[in-house]
Amino acid sequence: MKTLRQDLADIYLHKLRELFPEVKPSLNYKTDFQFLTAVMLSAQSTDKQVNKITKDFFNKFPTAESIAKASLSEIKQQLKSLGLYNTKSINLKKTAEIIYKKHNGKVPKDRQLLEALPGVGRKTANVVLSTLYNDNSGIAVDTHIARLARLLALTNHTSRLKIEQDLLKLIPENQRFGFSLRLIFYGRKYCKANHFAMHNPNHYHCPLTVELRIYLQKKRIALIGFSFNKDKYGNKIAKDLIRFGFNNLFLVNPKGGRYGNRLVYKDIKDILINSEIDIFLFVVKPEISLRIVRCLNQKKVSGHYWFQPGSLADDLVGYLNGNNLSFSSFCIMRSAGIW
């Protein structure tokens, strides 16, 4: 049985192919070494900036040998309009010398040899291996991918290595190259960083957010911590979920009663007995959430535990890891663009 994240990954892959049928790297190059150079120069710079610089740079220094034999001051002069040009110039010259002297001017196909080159980290190695050698053993996680992978509920990590490990479990090897490029293009065109700022409505209309919302609307969601008080966060979430078409919604409040035409359950046990829940959404204090998680794990209840943004994350992850407990997904509901 597929996990929630696997379902979402499949949905996103399909939608991204629809949005960007044909993709290729946006960096300009003619040789493998030029591609490595362009990727190295692209750190904290836009591809447009890099292409503008490399047009003249590659005319003057077309090979590893030409860069290896050039003076550092010459290289810096050519790259001075790029961010971090001092560091990039030093690393590029050292890398060119190694490739020229140790690898006969050819870019290594081996990951360890690539990552041993000055200025070449795992992300750069992943880009080079997938583009030049069809080696998709890794996924390049840049700023766009790190941000969107979390935003779209594919990971809850902030470490790029851990994000990559999560994505490797979800994205088939033969689709990783296209996935990386498409998600980068998607971030640039549809879902920019400021779209997810609080109260910004743009994110609600991003194509993958729409797909996520459509998927979630079909799931049975238990809202734990629902409140009748209109000023309470739980009440706002309930109102928004109903307004945006989340019809398979189960509300839990110790008072019970009704909310509009919906029954409000007094106890989480009531919905566990009567319904198969896909997602548990907690909007209660951390210590209460921890007790609920313990209860669910003791009863071996299947489902996906989702939590509101804020202080719950560290406490819950720490508790689950410390007790060797696991759950299908740890996500932030705000990903759906509702609140």
pLDDT per residue as tens, the chain (339 positions): 677 889 999 999 999 999 999 999 999 999 999 999 999 999 888 899 999 999 999 999 999 999 999 999 999 999 999 989 999 999 999 999 999 999 999 999 999 999 999 999 999 999 999 999 999 999 999 888 998 998 888 887 888 999 999 999 999 999 999 999 999 999 989 988 775 554 556 777 889 989 988 998 998 888 888 888 877 778 888 888 888 888 899 998 888 999 989 999 988 778 877 778 888 787 766 666 667 777 766 766 666 666 554 445 555 555 555 665 544 444 445 556 554
Pairing of strands 330-332, 304-307: parallel
Catalytic residue list: 123, 142
Q: What are phi and psi of 44, to 5 degrees?
A: 55, 30
Alpha carbon separation from 32 to 26, 62, 223 (Å, rounded): 15, 11, 53
pLDDT at 168: 97
Q: Kindly give, in sequence order, each residue whose CB lies less than 8 Å from that of residue 119, ignoring residues fewer than 6 positions away.
A: 40, 87, 88, 91, 92, 94, 95
Pairing of strands 262-265, 258-259: antiparallel
Residues paired with residue 306 on neighbouring β-strands, in sequence order? 281, 331
Cα 44 from Cα 34, distance rounded (Å): 18
- Please give the model's pTM, rounded to 2 decimal places: 0.83
DSSP state of 198: T
pLDDT at 243: 87
Domains, the chain, with CATH or none: 4-22+138-196 (1.10.1670.10), 33-106 (1.10.340.30), 218-336 (3.40.50.720)
